Structure 1
């Protein structure tokens, strides 16, 4: 923060006997209304120059902390120009000096209700390891807006206790603009409005202070400034073929890379983006895996026993059917993968699916092999790891017509080496093949998309034995050979809004209101309502990832461009135009022609960072809580 911004933040109205001027003063007092002004207002009968309150009076207590901070500011920038003393060092000394001055009058001060707004007009103060750091705060073009904003919030109050234990609750509003440093004070766009609880304690855990500091930095930087970190999982000097599929776990603890015959899983740390990923285990299609340099090869009987075509799982199975399935399993190849916190699920040709454990004494051990009677077109694993949804195209037993079928696999872990699988198949009233199935964050809703007719729907699987259709609709888009139709769809955290992407000409991503809460009848089906189109990102989009904060969405283009669209999360329906959102380009990853080969995106649980892994085996992290470079602004 430069000198001019600090000066704007510390300026207060001062009465010089003739007029009101704004400047940094060492003698600041609090009025009855809670505003901070110069001591020259004592005895002057006038309205408050900040909030306009009438008949305001002096409360009788000087603002020691604010005065000490202003004093050191004037010493640095007014006397020696900051050559001998850093501002943050002086900041710490100012607090220590103010605490000593506080001790003499702390008892009377604690019981004074007039001083509850003492720090509400001052900067955000954070402390870590007994050193105070100035948190990132939004400063307007004039100091008047900064002071008025601080006092206009009714919940921006502070209770000062003995030992300098300060509890602050304040609102942080960020106005997003295209300017480099100064926010746009004329814009109504507020993509982030959050309540922040600070607990400044001289002893104890400082984790809360660190998290609040990140929140303030995020409010300051998002979406225009971010730090980009990359990790190459394979040596960039070796020419290796691209992976056919990649995956990130919802908890951001694992990264999976897949080829036709092999797979690899790496561990990552979501809290430490600069920490490189570490190889956890790797394996091949025959069921063998390597952990800590040791290879483990299962025998054929063990693979057969842990499968749905064994006589233990299928009562109608015989030795002939088992041998036939094992023969097909020897020639299968990988197609798709999905990694979660504890398991890795791989699907491939000939309808096979494998569940691999990532915990226990041998991470990478095969848990179960499932064989579907029909090819698996798409699948997903629920965030709670209890369900696996398979999208297949089956045939009617009597008419032999093709039918879209969804199979829900319920996973029950008996121990670290054994699981029990229960399947719940159900058909959809359409012949259109499925292209995408995706669980909601609470694992209760399943969003489904079809290929040719571009239908999409939401199905409740709270009881997998009795699934219910909640919402359905259809999008009219180009279905030519070079188009893939609907490529991805995902719910926002509130499970009410849905964003949908497609790879087709003139079909930009859209955001819908599913209207599911409006269903009044037991068998009612909701009709979604279009809220807005995201035209600025184009129409060739592979995937989407709504932020857990609900105020932004990440979109991945076919050319590898990662867009972030920041919006107003309070009332998205009232802010549908381009002027109410900001679109930036945060990353450019490896491009992919097909959706299956595209990179995967995932936000961390708070929404501070966006993680991306592409088919070249490169992990990209965009961090909005660290100092970094400016993003390319689209609009």
Structure 2
């Protein structure tokens, strides 16, 4: 894994900054929104048993503060997080405030949430598993709490994690074998919503879902204006917050519930992108169709009231199809949430401006088609 400089103000464009070398395959990678962390999902093999063991290497980039300086990075601190399951890591993503990691496994479609640090600390050396969910496990319940497992910076034995030898054997049942690609994309929802959005490409007609997490706020570090909450407190209240933060480290995500489903767009979804305004999600399916779905109740617990709320679904346009989700187009909203940018596997760059007008009424809008109102 190699890191290059792309900021001309910091130094020569394209200058190599850091190289991480490993003998094991890097299956996935994610860069934190604050730009100081790079997470790599790696699958290693145990020396004696030869069994696969997944883990995450968290590369903490420490910038050089000396001015002037010939170096952009002062140092890089790699931190190893061992995953207490045999299933390889398939996808990995940070939350908006770079305090949590969300990842899923390849075969069991289990998604995990790892808290990297407490709300008022920059210490990443005590990551904690706060939630794990498994759908295809014979010996485990459907929702598995992490039980506040501590992961050190070195690999630990399974006995240190309180796991039996057969606890994490992957069970390939009939339902799992019927799945096409399993989980194809997952991300934390908009800030302060405590939600996770998950898409699948499945022959079992499993729709994409929004899952609400019942527990501590994922984005508690930042206030509503986007600044650090600790900057608004006095020294006395800051110490009180830090003390409360230490106590809250014993609290996991208690439960997770599906608050929104998207059966209107099918079950062969390869990826998605969320609007920065939090009011819409654009989905990309296997055939290359782009579906724009309004999510007006994204922050509300609609399942508690028994109503899902109406969703407006628009067929925004089409890009090149893909046989596998790793070959699908990249999809991104503009910063104002008014346009959707795509680059497909053929290298075609497209811009979809859904603020242009209404399909059927405005002459400039020729590709959009309303699916449901």
Relative to the length of structure 1, the TM-score reads 0.42
Q: 1:578 Cα shift?
A: 6.9
Residue 567 (structure 1) shift: 2.0
- Give the conservation status (yes or no) of the 8 Å contact 1:518–1:526: no
Aligned to 1:493: 190
Structure 1 residue 606 displacement after superposition? 2.9
Contact 1:376 1:390 in 2 (8 A): yes
1:51 maps to which residue? none
Q: 1:429 Cα deviation (Å)?
A: 1.0
Q: Report the Cα distance in structure 2 between the residues aligned to 1:416 and 1:422, rounded to whole angstroms.
A: 20
Higher Cα Rg: structure 1 or 2?
Answer: 1
Runs of 5+ in structure 1 lacking a partner?
1-352
Q: Residue 511 of structure 1: SS of its match in structure 2?
A: strand
Show the 5 A alignment for 1:548-567: 548-567=276-295
Partner residue in 2 for 1:60: none
| Alpha-carbon distance in 1 for matches of 2:252, 2:308 | 34
- The equivalent of 2:258 in structure 1 is 530
Distance of 1:373 and 1:514 partners within structure 2: 36
Cα displacement (A) at 1:579:
5.8
Query: Over aligned residues, Cα RMSD in angstroms?
Result: 2.5
Among 191, 195, 211, the residue aligned to 1:512: 211
**Matching residue within 520, 545, 549 for 2:273:** 545
Task: Tell me the residue number matched to 1:372.
Answer: 22
Relative to structure 1, the CA distance from residue 465 to residue 532 in structure 2 (aligned partners, 3 Å threshold; closer, same or farther) is same
Q: Deviation digits for residues 268-287 of structure 1, max 9, x if unmatched?
A: xxxxxxxxxxxxxxxxxxxx
- Tell me the number of residue pairs that the alignment of Structure 1 and Structure 2 aligns: 283
Distance 2:353 2:116 in 1: 35
Deviations 1:66-123 (A, max 9, x none): xxxxxxxxxxxxxxxxxxxxxxxxxxxxxxxxxxxxxxxxxxxxxxxxxxxxxxxxxx
Shift of residue 488, structure 1, vs aligned partner: 0.8
Aligned match for 1:587, one of 309, 317, 338: 317
Q: Do structure 1's residue 430 and structure 2's residue 85 form an aligned pair?
A: yes
User: What is the match of residue 618 of structure 1?
Assistant: 348
Give 2:110's aligned residue.
Answer: 455
In structure 2, the residue matched to 1:355 is 3
Contact 2:115/2:128 (CA < 8 Å) preserved in 1? yes
Change (3 A) 1:417 1:484: farther
How big is the shift at 1:532? 2.1
Secondary structure of residue in 2 paired with 1:480: helix
1:607 paired with 2:320, answer no
| Map of 2:201 onto structure 1 | 503
- Shift, 1:405, TM fit: 0.5
Q: In the aligned structure 2, how far is the partner of 1:441 from the partner of 1:551?
A: 17
Q: Secondary structure at the match of 2:264?
A: helix
